[in-house]
Amino acid sequence: MKRTHSRLLTAAALVVCLAMASGAAWANVYASGLTLTGPSSISYILNDDADAGVAVEVWQVGGGMVYSESLGSQSKGTHSWAWNGSGYTPGNQYKIRIVASSNGYSNWKQISTDQTSTSFYLPLGVSVNKMQSHPNFGKIYISNAQAGKTAYGRACQDGIYILNADATEAGFATGGKDWVAAGNSSPFKSTIGPDGHLYVIDYSNDLAWEFNEDLSSVTQLIDGSNKTTNQYVASIHVQGTQAEGNRKIYLVNSNYNDTARKGLIMYDLGGNAQAAPNDKGTQYIGPTYFTFYPMDVARDSAGDWYLCQYRYDPTQAPAISKFADAPPYELPINTALWETPKQAPFNGAYGIDIYEPYGWVAYGNYYDGFVHIFRMSDGSYVGGFDAGSRLRDIAFDAAGNIVTIDNITEWVRIWSPPGPNSFTTESWFAIPEPGSITVILFGIGLAALRRRK
């Protein structure tokens, strides 16, 4: 069993201001947790104060907007609204859109509060549901890998803690698995698949698990027969779904000494619940490219890959590398499109995520708690901010906020980018008519709309 790193190494303090392009506008405030509370009434959660106002719009499915209402400024937290039926036409279905706006902040700003709900004893992974067509849109999933009481005084268990977008508590789950027996590096990093399911790494035993829809059970995706000698499993990316018969999982082998298999390994599960016995997967990226410890992976909508390498000496490995996807006959990939500079302060890349609306790829620094942001297009530096002491993982939410987890400070924190902003959230359900109790679940999920100022 591998244990978590225990040494605390510090780096020189760094102050970096975010370089903002002229005229750029961002998002940070948004509505999530949309719930039908009555025939035509809803509740929703704002992740931050919408000091520039909230508007609710009713849109006919397949048509245009039939009603809108300004609600004025609203504070962070849970709110409710009811449609009076204006604009309704019999026989149609309707979606609700919530447009939240904020004047924003001058610099990166912590918008969560250090409190019981954000205090964790050993947080090692985080992911956020960004799918507006899913009921769990906005939920934050924290992997806590060891039971214990935090310095703040919270008693934590081994398993997955769920937060709402405003950092209030939304539940705890183990999936029926004994994470205590798994070891102190489990649960580890996680991701949300295209099916909306939570996928979690067991780093102590180098395995991958899938939670079901309500987090009540887990399915083991690989076993010992699917790994080669010395293969580690540090992170996961999922493409396709089991229901569609096209699911593939990509696992990061972080073992520095595994020169034969270090890097990214793909398993084609298709419509199966788990990898076939003795299927060792396909080397997708590496092993020769990686000189040290590949730790995390992200993939953009074009299919290109971003991997980070964990290393204390920044001159020995790039923090982030981007790889163009390739057809199978060109595998494995061992040439990067670009690399971040091999120079200070770009070391300790332990967790990575991308945010395509801004064209950003970011990582959290294990050694000094700094978040560094680069452009996805060419790897040029955008900026960063000090988020704590030792970042084990980061995740963007749907509006471009960054969630960081730090096992030295024992805090999960949410950070807003600067600037005035607006975000439109559409309901995952449709209302057939005012007064009806019928709800069409998983209705047509339209893409997020952003109003630029």
Q: Which two tokens stand for residue 8?
A: 């605390």
Distance CA 398, CA 128 (A): 8
Rounded to whole angstroms, the Cα distance separating 275 from 223 reads 8
Same domain, 166 and 237: yes
277 domain residue, yes or no: yes
Q: Let me know whether 69 and 157 are in one domain.
A: no
What pLDDT does 18 receive? 36
| Residues 121 and 45 both lie in one domain | no
Q: Is the dihedral of CA 380, 381, 382, 387 positive or negative?
A: positive
Kindly state whether residues 80 and 214 are assigned to the same domain.
Answer: no
Which backbone phi and psi does 224 adopt, to 5 degrees? -60, -30
Tokens of 111: 């918008």
- The dihedral of CA 430, 432, 433, 436: what is its sign? negative
Q: How many CA atoms lie within 13 A of 30 on its CB side?
A: 27
The amino acid at residue 101 is: S
| Structural domain contains residue 206 | yes
Q: How far apart are CA 25 and CA 44, in angstroms?
A: 24
Of 99-108, 188-197, 376-385, 426-435, the one with minimum mean pLDDT is 426-435
Q: Is residue 9 part of a domain?
A: no
Q: Domain tally for the chain?
A: 2
Sign of CA dihedral 374, 203, 411, 104: positive
CATH code, 206:
2.120.10.30
Does residue 77 share a domain with residue 161?
no
Residues 394, 436 within the same domain: no
Alpha helices (runs of H) in 50-178, residue ranges in sequence order: none
Question: Tokens in use for 367?
Answer: 């050694």
Domain co-membership, 231 together with 340? yes
Residue with tokens 């939670």: 211
Quick one: 31 exposed, middle or buried, by C-beta within 10 A (0-12, 13-18, 19+)?
buried
Q: Which residues pair with 421 in a beta bridge?
A: 102
| Separation of CA 422 from chain center | 20
Split at pLDDT 50, 70, 90, the class of 435 is low
What are the strands of the beta sheet with 123-128, ordered from one edge?
123-128, 140-144, 159-163, 169-173
> Average model confidence (pLDDT) for the chain?
91
Pair 353, 395: CB distance under 8 Å: yes
* DSSP line for 285-322: E-STT-SSEEEEEEE-TTS-EEEEEE-SSTTSS-SEEE
The distance in angstroms from the start CA to the end CA of the chain is 52
CA distance 72 to 334: 53
Q: What is the mean pLDDT of residues 17-42?
A: 73
370 pLDDT higher than 80: yes
- 216 domain-assigned: yes
CA–CA separation, 151 vs 449, rounded Å? 41
Within-domain flag for 307: yes
pLDDT digits (tens, 9 = 90+) for 228-252: 999 999 999 999 999 999 999 999 9
Strand partners, 217: none
Spatial distance between the Cα atoms of 104 and 236, rounded to a whole number of angstroms: 33
Q: What is the CATH number of the domain that holds 83?
A: 2.60.40.4070
Q: Judging by beta carbons within 10 Å of its beta carbon (0-12, 13-18, 19+), is residue 90 exposed, middle or buried?
A: exposed
In this structure, is residue 18 part of a structural domain?
A: no
Give the single-character DSSP code of 181.
Answer: H
Q: Which domain holds residue 30?
A: 23-106+419-443
Q: What pLDDT does residue 16 have?
A: 35
**Cβ neighbours for 241, distance < 8 A, ≥ 6 positions apart:** 193, 194, 195, 247
- Partners of 406 in the β-ladder: 391, 411
268 and 340 both lie in a single domain: yes
In a shared domain, residues 242 and 169: yes
391 and 359 share one domain: yes
Tokens 């190494």 belong to 9
pLDDT at 3 over 80: no
Cis peptide before 345 (omega within 30 of 0): yes
Q: Where do we find the tokens 């906005």? A: 138
Note the pLDDT tens digit of each residue in 307-335.
Answer: 999 999 999 999 999 999 977 778 999 99
Q: Say what percent of the chain tops pLDDT 70.
A: 90
Q: Give pLDDT tens digits for 75-90.
A: 999 999 999 999 999 9
What does DSSP say about strands 293-299 and 41-46: parallel, antiparallel, or unpaired? unpaired
As beta bridge partners, residue 313 has none
Residues 276-298 have pLDDT tens digits of: 999 999 999 999 999 999 999 99
Residues 365 and 273 in one domain: yes
Confirm whether 10 is domain-assigned.
no
Do the domain assignments include residue 450? no
- How high is the pLDDT of residue 329? 72
Residue with tokens 């934050």: 140
Residue 382: per-residue pLDDT: 98
What is the DSSP code (8-state) at residue 431? B
Q: Which pLDDT belongs to residue 328?
A: 75
Q: Pull the structure tokens for residue 286.
A: 């590496």
Beta-ladder partners of 36: 42
Which region holds residue 164: left if phi is over 0, alpha if psi is between -120 and 50, else beta?
A: beta
Asked if residue 205 and residue 146 are part of one domain, the reply reads yes
DSSP state of 276: P
